[in-house]
Amino acid sequence: MRRQFSLARQLLLFQLGIVLLAVGAVAAVSMAEAQAAFYNDEGGKLRSIAESLAWNDTIRQGMGPDVWYDSLAAAAETARGANGVSFVVLTDAEGRLLTGPDAGRLADLGDSDGLAGKGWHGEVLTPARVLEAHAPVIDPGNGKVLGLVVAGQTYPSWPQLLAEATPDLLTYLLLGSALGIGGSMLLVRRVKRQTMGLEPREIAGLVEHREAMLHGLKEGLLALDTSGRITLANDEAVRLLDLPGDVTGKPLPGLGVPDDLVQLLTSGGGEPDHVVLFQSRVLVLNRMPVLVHGRTVGSVTTLRDRTELTSLERELDLSRHATDTLRAQAHEFTNRLHTISGLIQLGQYDDAVNFIIRAGQAQEDLSHRVQSRIADPALAALLIAKASAAAEQRVELSVDDASQLSPQPDGQLVADLVTVVGNLVDNGIDAAPAGGWVRVLIRQDPAEVEVRVDDSGPGVANELAQTVFTRGYSTKDSERRGLGLALISQICTARGGSVSVEGAAFTARLPRQRERS
């Protein structure tokens, strides 16, 4: 099993490694500086030795037609010993050695131009690395070059340079180690406080668990900073808000989210379970600010998709309305039976027959009036049922004589019409006072279907004519406050149509062909 070091030990080892690298770099720089100092200092010294010998009268005379080998060798050795250099040798005008153990052999002069009458110093690569200085010996009579004085010093080896630098290196190492260890201990204590004493594997485990938890939630989770940039969005939030894949660090307003929803997500109030409509979804939002040391650093919003639940609620509402209609009709039928029974018991047979004829005729007239204008069965059945429900609340529901709607082959258009008409009629019945009325106008042309519902209620104020659909408007105290009108607006907009209100008259226009997104 692989051994796991603690965070403190890892930081200490890393810091010591950095210190050793720094000391190694300092050592390399120190040795490079030592070589440069050797080149400058020893080069000047060697050049001074070579020039001094080149101007010596004994050397000039000894390099004449009759070479004084012994005198030249003695002078060169004296200069070498007196100055502590590696060697001092003399050459003739052709560069052939006159002194030294290799006398008679051509000297390796490298890039020197000393035989041309110029002084020179530099490196010469012999079997050993050597620093040399060359000074020409010039005949004072005719100015000709008689030969060269070559003074050289062998470069110290790397171990020698390292040995010379060892005291300084030890000082650097001890000082750097002390600083590194002390700094590492302080750093470890700070990191321990910031990570709450957790080790790297524990931090990694927490991050993995956090990612698994956030992205496994059924609810959407969206975190924003104070400037509206997304700091976290789990998979469900990305799906519900139709965001691109990688949104971390991006501003929310530029991601295609409507302005009213952006306003709610970035600076909305603390209203719990806020219901909004986004595209074809019904979302429930709960936004909470995030405080750090008493300062707001952002917000976290949870999003729940209530689209399916809302659809079920709508179906339950339709069932409830149908039940209420049947109950109202049963109640009305019972009253009529009691009336007929009373007339028979009183022997008023003709009046009983006339009552039965009038009652049946009224229901038949209602059905005929609706079906003659609204040929679509689903919508006609809805209006007949709503008429019975309105009558129970002492509100008269009528279909305008100008209404005309043929059977619709598009099932989605029929479903949208049922939703729009049902919600508008319900709003009208709720708004109309007892003894009031609600009038429905449904007509079509080749391009669209127009639905107009008005009532005898007080209507909507002009200043609320735009906001009743975007933010919801209702006189009912319910957690679904304003959802019906917002849903109508959503359906009309999705089809490429519109909905508007003027006083108590609501007008919805639904194109026959749904607009492609």
Domain boundary among 137, 160, 183: 160
Question: Please, are residues 185 and 142 in contact by the beta-carbon 8 Å criterion?
Answer: no
Same-domain status, 316 and 250 = no
Contact present, 302 and 290 (Cβ < 8 Å): no
Boundary residue ending a domain (111, 128, 160): 160
Residue 328 sits in the same domain as residue 290: no
Judged by average pLDDT, the poorest of 98-102, 144-148, 339-343, 427-431 is 339-343
Q: How far is residue 121's CA from residue 135's CA, in Å, rounded to a whole number? A: 9
Structure tokens at 514: 């749904």
Backbone angles phi, psi at 230, to 5 degrees: -80, 125
Q: What integer best gives the mean pLDDT of the chain?
A: 79
Q: How far apart are CA 340 and CA 334, in angstroms?
A: 10
88 neighbors 74 (Cβ within 8 angstroms)? no
Q: For a pLDDT cut of 70, what percent of the chain falls above it?
A: 79
Of residues 52 and 277, more confidence is placed in 52
190 assigned to some structural domain: no
Annotate 297-327 with b (16+ C-beta within 10 A) or e (fewer): ebbebbbbbbbeebeeebeeeeeebeeebee
- Could you tell me if 300 and 429 lie in one domain? no
Same domain (yes/no): 394, 318: yes
Q: What is the DSSP letter of 106?
A: B
Say how many domains are in the chain. 3
Residue 278 CA to residue 290 CA, distance in Å, equals 25
Note the pTM of the prediction, 2 decimals: 0.46
Q: 309 pLDDT exceeds 90?
A: no
Work out the average pLDDT over 386-396: 83
DSSP helix/strand/coil, 254: helix
Nearest to 144 by CA among 165, 115, 164: 115
**Domain of 404?**
309-511
pLDDT tier, 269 (very low <50, low <70, confident <90, very high otherwise) = low
Say whether both 124 and 231 belong to one domain. Answer: no
Q: Are residues 412 and 479 in the same domain?
A: yes
pLDDT surpassing 50 at residue 1: no
Query: Which string of DSSP letters, residue by residue, matches 189-219?
Result: HHHHHHTTT--HHHHHHHHHHHHHHHHH-SS
CATH of the domain at 278: 3.30.450.20
Residue 343 and residue 289 share a domain: no
Tell me, yes or no, whether 457 lies in a domain: yes
Whether residue 356 sits in one domain with residue 399: yes
- Torsion of Cα atoms, 195 then 201 then 202 then 203, to 10°: 50
160: exposed, middle or buried (C-beta count within 10 Å: 0-12, 13-18, 19+)?
A: exposed
Q: What is the mean pLDDT of residues 298-312?
A: 75
Residue 448 forms part of a structural domain = yes
Q: What is the dihedral of CA 287, 293, 296, 301, to 10 degrees?
A: -20
| Residue 77 within any structural domain of the chain | yes
Task: Quickly tell me which residue has 């007080």 as its tokens.
Answer: 458
Lowest-confidence range among 155-169, 238-252, 427-441? 155-169
Residue 116 and residue 150 in one domain: yes
Q: How many helices (H) and strands (E) does the chain have?
A: 13, 14
pLDDT of residue 452: 94
Last residue of a domain, one of 140, 160, 180: 160
User: Are 480 and 392 found together in one domain?
Assistant: yes
Whether residues 269 and 323 share a domain: the answer is no
As a whole number of angstroms, the distance between CA 469 and CA 487 comes to 8
CB burial string 409-428: b at 16+ within 10 A, e below: eeeebbebbbbbbbbbbbbb
H helix or E strand, kind and range, residue 361: helix 349-373
Q: Considering only 136-140, 179-183, 347-351, 407-411, which range has the smallest mean pLDDT?
A: 179-183
User: Is 206 a residue whose pLDDT tops 90?
Assistant: no
| Secondary structure class of 356 (helix, strand, coil) | helix
pLDDT of residue 13: 74
401, part of any domain: yes
Q: What is the DSSP string of 447-495?
A: SEEEEEEEESS--B-GGGTTHHHHT---SS-STTTTHHHHHHHHHHHHT
- What pLDDT, on a 0 to 100 scale, did the predictor assign at position 481? 47
298 lies in the same domain as 313: no
User: Which amino acid is it at 243?
Assistant: L
Q: In the β-sheet with 396-399, what is the strand arrangement from edge to edge?
A: 396-399, 437-444, 448-455, 505-511, 498-502
How far, in Å, CA of 98 to CA of 104, rounded?
A: 6
pLDDT (tens digit per residue) in 32-62: 777 787 788 888 888 888 888 888 888 888 8
What φ, ψ does residue 291 adopt, rounded to 5°? -110, 135
Instruction: Check residue 293 and give left, alpha or beta (phi > 0: left; psi -120 to 50: alpha).
Output: left
pLDDT at residue 506 tops 90: yes
Check: CB of residue 376 under 8 Å from CB of residue 406. Answer: yes
Q: CA-CA distances (angstroms) from residue 358 to 34, 74, 162, 389? A: 126, 157, 125, 20
Q: What is the CA radius of gyration of the chain?
A: 52
* 212 assigned to some structural domain: no
Letter for the amino acid at 355?
F
Q: Which range, 188-202, 205-219, 338-352, is most confident?
A: 338-352
Count of residues in the chain: 517
pLDDT at 119: 86
Where residue 439 sits, what CATH number does that domain have?
3.30.565.10
- 344 backbone dihedrals φ, ψ, rounded to 5°: -65, -40
Distance in angstroms (rounded) separating the CA atoms of residues 442 and 424: 12
For the chain, report the end-to-end CA distance as a whole number of angstroms. 58
Which pLDDT score is estimated for 477?
A: 45
pLDDT over 80 (residue 352):
no
- Assigned domain for 166 exists: no
Query: What is the crossing angle of helices 158-194 and 7-54, to 10°?
Result: 150
Contacts of 192 (CB under 8 A, 6+ apart): 7, 8
User: Under a CB-based contact definition with an 8 Å cutoff, are residues 344 and 260 in contact?
Assistant: no
Residue with tokens 């321990």: 192
By the 8 A CB rule, do 398 and 453 touch? Answer: no
pLDDT for the residue numbered 507 = 93
Q: Which residue has the tokens 């390099």?
A: 63
CA–CA distance, 117 with 138 (Å, rounded to integer): 8
